[in-house]
Amino acid sequence: MFTGIVECVGNIKKVVSQKDCLHLTIAPKLVFDDLKSGDSVAINGVCLTVTAFSLDDFDVTVVPQTQLVTNLSELKQGDDVNLERAMKLHSRIGGHCVQGHVDAVGCIVSLKAEGAACLAVISLPAEIEKYVINKGYITIDGMSITVIEVMKGFFSVT
């Protein structure tokens, strides 16, 4: 479980395709000194398991099913990703409970500056439309965000 509060940004150091799987090596901008093999880490909101680690980076594997329902297969060496380690029971939950299991992928349809904020309108796949509500929360690339408005086939956030 995660909170949807991004801990830090990481940089993709290496991408290797092997037997239908995608192996990523990620260097977090903060030191994750308590990380170990088997830990769950949200990569752009997607729950993945650490397969190897060092003080500077860690490895995860993206299996075929995860590649089908996320945009992680589009990542390239040098790309930045949002990172969050699994929440601890004795910590505050600043966002909302995020499982890291992706239900659908939307596309940004429009961006509009609104003072210091930016209004984003995002396509809303029909299979999850009934679960997205005004003033509810949604996770986008690992960030817990409040839904501003739901329209047929779209929703907006700032």
Q: How do the domains of the chain map onto residue ranges?
A: 8-85, 108-157
Are 147 and 109 a contacting pair, CB within 8 Å? no
Of residues 124 and 5, more confidence is placed in 124
Other CB atoms within 10 A of residue 63 CB: 12
Fold of 8-85: Elongation Factor Tu (Ef-tu); domain 3 (2.40.30)
- pLDDT at position 83 is 97
Residue 62 clears pLDDT 90, i.e. is over it: yes
pLDDT computed for residue 31 by the predictor = 82
pTM of the model: 0.87
User: Where does the pLDDT of residue 101 fall: very low under 50, low under 70, confident under 90, or very high at 90 and above?
Assistant: confident
Q: Which fold is adopted by the domain 108-157?
A: Elongation Factor Tu (Ef-tu); domain 3 (2.40.30)
